[in-house]
Amino acid sequence: MQHFNFDEIIDRSHSHCEKWDKYQGKDILPAWVADMDFKSPPQIITALQERVTHGVFGYTAVDDETLQTIVDFIKRHYNWEIQKEWLVFTHGVVSSMNLAALCVEGDTVVTTTPIYPHFIKAPKFAGKEVFTIAMKEENNRWTIDFERLEQAINPTCKLFMLCNPYNPGGTVLKKDELEKLATLCVKHDMIICSDEIHADLILGPDAQHIPIASLNEAIAKHSITLMAPSKTFNIAGLQASFAIIPDMSLRHAFQKKMGSMVGGINLLGITAMKAAYQYGDAWLNELRVYLRENLLMVQAFVTKNPSLKLLNQEATFLAWIDASALHVKSPYEFFLNFGVGLSDGAPFGDANFVRLNFGTQKAMLQNVLNRMQKAMDSLKD
């Protein structure tokens, strides 16, 4: 039985909304930046309303009950037992990626490509060189090229930046893949910064999210895991996230880099995070069902248009579509001209791709796909 109405269209104009403001006044449907068009779970909205009614918004701290709520959520969903003191709060995962790049020694950082741009930007900002390993297609899914990765690692590499689930591409790394990666990191004494912001948005029937740090103690000691309720419960604007750092000296190094420059979590962010992790499971289950249906719509569209290609999408609401066979100069510009604002693949590392955000109402997604179909049909003339 459905309890939550994901079909409800919400007018997001005039709401300080990056996604919709970008094309304000233009006949362009936005399907880019990674937030969803749904209302957050009602329990989050009520918790925020109650906190706002309180009326005093002074300096804030994370209370023990909230810490326990996070610990319980991670145990319940990932069977990973973390300690409260491992948690370090920041206002965003991108800030934490930068802190990770700053606090780990070594002149080079390794990551994969194409990837969410901050995986490249953060190490560069920390003054480090970045080695990128191209993701490879295997069994209709994007995965890590372990052979090339092992070849690329040298003694200057002290940090591997992992995105799991993967953005873009939607891969959820399997246990044996994570074990390989963990073994490599421990063997070469590399820290792994594992961005798991999309962990709760698993769509593939056989996919399961495993935090890499939960595999064993050795990799836990080499890990900085980044999580947040922001993508899952559509509260990115509230800026609340956390790093899980089991090793005390690594945690202190991370906190030292925060210093007084990177403020902690936002008061309303804590309020929303606590409500989300306490009461959000039922909403999340229904969200995943809805997103799976949306993904089927996207897959049907791609199947109908064989010059587009989409590999197995195991997680996230972001479809990474290969448009190279269209032979247009910029697939992003091409679809924009037909009124759809996708994410351009170029900043992720491949301009032949576009990324379609399907975290929206079905009616909206259908409009997006209709316009994209018109674009595709125009090539037949």
Binding residues vs ligand PLP (CB under 6 A): 34, 92-94, 116, 163, 167, 195, 197, 228, 230, 236, 241
Answer whether 164's CB lies under 8 Å from 213's CB: no
Residues 6+ apart with CB under 8 A from 260: none
Residue with token string 């351009």: 344
Residues 6+ apart with CB under 8 A from 311: 137, 140, 141, 142, 169, 170, 320
The residue type found at 255 is Q
User: C-beta of 242: minimal distance to ligand PLP in Å?
Assistant: 10
Show the CA angle centred on residue 332, arms to residues 234 and 307, nearest 5°.
Answer: 105
Query: Helix (H, G, I), strand (E, B), or coil: what is residue 269?
Result: helix
Which residue number, 163 or 207, has a Cβ lying nearer to ligand PLP?
A: 163
Which residue number, 111 or 294, has a Cβ lying nearer to ligand PLP?
A: 111
Residues 6+ apart with CB under 8 A from 185: 160, 191, 192, 219, 222
Which residue number, 199 or 376, has a Cβ lying nearer to ligand PLP?
A: 199
Which residue number, 87 or 375, has a Cβ lying nearer to ligand PLP?
A: 87
Which residue number, 94 or 354, has a Cβ lying nearer to ligand PLP?
A: 94
Which residue number, 159 or 376, has a Cβ lying nearer to ligand PLP?
A: 159
Answer whether 168's CB lies under 8 Å from 320's CB: yes
Residue nearest to ligand PLP (CB): 92
User: C-beta of 164: minimal distance to ligand PLP in Å?
Assistant: 9
**Token pair for 284:** 């999340």
> Residue 186, Cα to own-chain centre: how many angstroms?
25
Alpha-carbon separation of residue 187 from 2, 179, 213, 318 (angstroms): 48, 12, 15, 33
Which residue number, 227 or 365, has a Cβ lying nearer to ligand PLP?
A: 227
